[in-house]
Amino acid sequence: MSKEEVFIGSLDQGTTSTRFIIYDRHARPVGSHQVEFTQFYPEAGWVEHDPMEILESAKVCMAKALDKATANGHNVDSGLKGIGLTNQRETTLLWSKSTGSPLYNAIVWMDARTSSVCRKLEKELSGGRTHFAETCGLPISTYFSAMKLIWLMENVDTVKQAIKSGDALFGTIDTWLIWNLTGGVNGGLHVTDLSNASRTMLMNLKTLDWDQPTLKSLGVPAEILPKIVSNSEVIGKIGKGWPLAGIPISGCLGDQHAAMLGQACRKGEAKSTYGTGAFILLNTGEEIVQSKHGLLSTVAFKLGPKAPTNYALEGSIAIAGAAVQWLRDGLCIINSASEIEELASQVESTGGVYFVPAFNGLFAPWWRDDARGVCVGITRFTSKAHIARAVLESMCFQVKDVLDSMQKDAVENGEVKNEKEFLLRVDGGATVNNLLMKIQADLLGSPVVRPADIETTALGAAYAAGLAVGVWKEEEIFASDEKAKTATTFRPVLADELRKKKLDSWCRAVEKTFNLADLSL
């Protein structure tokens, strides 16, 4: 078989949509399909997904992408060597191993219902909010899977009964997909990968296994947890009833870790992905760096069972592109997300308006689940264009906050010696917005680099899968010269004094969000 006939598939299961992309051996997409699925908001601060709808979206995307690639003249059926999988991370579900049915809807990563669970644990445990941080790298927060699992075990009768009878399986969305793809009730594999496991609060970053003292402390039964595997290895084959049956699943990463790999981030390099939320990760190499400035320590990737483990510092932002969706669906200011660039470009500034999208609290570096969204500085002069521009600025201010914290941690740890080495690479759907990228460069005061292919999450999953089955070598994946030639660089033009004034005003706006959560809801 010639090199031109080799393909790798990538199943990218995100917060609001699922897509499947087929790449040739030059990492060029030859066919893709994307499907949005339903967001459920049963109560204020709650966000859920239907796991069965997610499965159906995956099946449709795989079939349609295959059809499109074939229609484009590519013989994917005989040349597809493997598929990689990437997913929204902390989203949590349990299901019956005997029937395959979900025991409850999936609780989405941004869901804030577990705040009471978090407060209770903070009071009971000696280390308070950071009790588990040394082990898992994460603070006690509504963000992480363990808190959602505890809520399900305490509040859902079907979950309690299934655990008691030994019929319950726990997983994040990667685990749910792999179990179903590899047979489901007929021998489906119950596994997760290191990057997703590192986001549960239950995995020890040093041993790379479930931490028994943590499980005991939280009352989590070990038998419901999946086996942990590396990010690049043959996990199993797709079973009957699915498109691409018989093809190996050979890579799996959480979405932000996949984007790191897709951006080829080496030690000391950072990337920011702009999607529903925004996520900034800095590769810290084989060293676990404990943040002193509100960031998370996490696995970056491990490209094979015997490969070294790369770790990362992460700043997670709950609401980025979701604020644009809110303008579209909640306020009806725009008809489509793409319209925000034109609307915001109608004004040269926000006119003093600052928007802080703390819809479900604030993540890094603030970690305030009592925060709620505010829009301040409004006058009679304010128009919807000013508000639209303030929404774009809110994404960039949040990224700036995280990067400032990351810079402090990295410098203190000796990872980065000066700001010139602190290169920000950007990716994700929102980066097609040139105005957003210009604002980001202005507020950072440094260049922002956007690759030609902004879907680096799907690309990273493809890289991991292709590496495991011999389509690519690691040095090919991390070769940056060719990627740099096709990238677009945005450079700052904002004066330093004005930048500082805007950042000071932003910080005052953020402080106004604190203690606004109505605990009676």
Backbone angles phi, psi at 404, to 5 degrees: -60, -45
pLDDT in the model for residue 1: 37
Structure token digits, residue 246: 């018989």
Per-residue pLDDT reduced to its tens digit, 206-221: 999 999 999 999 999 9
pLDDT at 191 over 70: yes
* Inter-axis angle of helices 157-165 and 145-155, nearest 10: 100
Distances (CA, A) of 186 to 99, 141, 179: 10, 36, 10
DSSP string, 150-216: HHHHHH-HHHHHHHHHT-EEEEEHHHHHHHHHTTTTTT---EEEHHHHTTSS-EETTTTEE-HHHHH
Cβ(400)–Cβ(505) under 8 Å?
A: no
Query: Residue written as tokens 């890289």?
Result: 463
Q: Which residues of 503-521 are buried (b: 16+ CB within 10 A; e: fewer)?
A: eebbeebbeebbeebeeee
Closest CA to 278 of 397, 166, 191: 397
Closest CA to 59 of 33, 40, 22, 23: 33
Mean pLDDT calculated for residue range 321-329: 93
Q: Which pTM was predicted?
A: 0.88
pLDDT in the model for residue 414: 64
| Percent with pLDDT over 90 in the chain | 79
* Inter-axis angle of helices 145-155 and 115-124, nearest 10: 100
pLDDT in the model for residue 419: 47
Per-residue pLDDT reduced to its tens digit, 350-359: 999 999 999 9
d(CA 74, CA 67): 10
Domains of the chain, CATH where assigned? 3-255 (3.30.420.40), 321-450+491-521 (3.30.420.40)
Cβ(192)–Cβ(175) under 8 Å?
A: yes
pLDDT in the model for residue 481: 59
Structure token digits, residue 161: 């009964």
d(CA 284, CA 403): 14
pLDDT in the model for residue 453: 84
pLDDT at 456 over 60: yes
Contacts of 229 (CB under 8 A, 6+ apart): 191, 192, 193, 194, 235, 252, 305
pLDDT in the model for residue 420: 47
Beta strand segments in 344-440, E: 354-356, 374-376, 424-427
Mean pLDDT calculated for residue range 13-27: 94
d(CA 79, CA 53): 29
Mean pLDDT calculated for residue range 298-319: 94
d(CA 262, CA 483): 11
Distances (CA, A) of 150 to 80, 123, 316: 40, 16, 22
pLDDT in the model for residue 102: 97
Query: Residue written as tokens 């598939």?
Result: 9
Structure token digits, residue 48: 């859920």
Per-residue pLDDT reduced to its tens digit, 151-164: 999 999 999 999 99
DSSP 323: H
Cα angle 475, 5, 467 (rounded to 5 degrees) comes to 30
pLDDT classification of 422: cutoffs 50, 70, 90: low
d(CA 194, CA 187): 22
d(CA 147, CA 22): 35
pLDDT at 63 over 80: yes
Structure token digits, residue 86: 């990437």
Per-residue pLDDT reduced to its tens digit, 221-266: 999 999 999 999 999 999 999 999 999 999 999 999 999 999 998 8
pLDDT in the model for residue 415: 56
Mean pLDDT calculated for residue range 163-183: 97
d(CA 289, CA 38): 37
d(CA 295, CA 313): 6
Cβ(433)–Cβ(407) under 8 Å?
A: no
Mean pLDDT calculated for residue range 73-77: 85
Q: Which amino acid is at 191?
A: V
Cα angle 243, 247, 248 (rounded to 5 degrees) comes to 130
Quick check: helix, strand or coil at residue 490?
strand
Mean pLDDT calculated for residue range 417-437: 78
pLDDT at 513 over 70: yes
Cβ(93)–Cβ(180) under 8 Å?
A: no
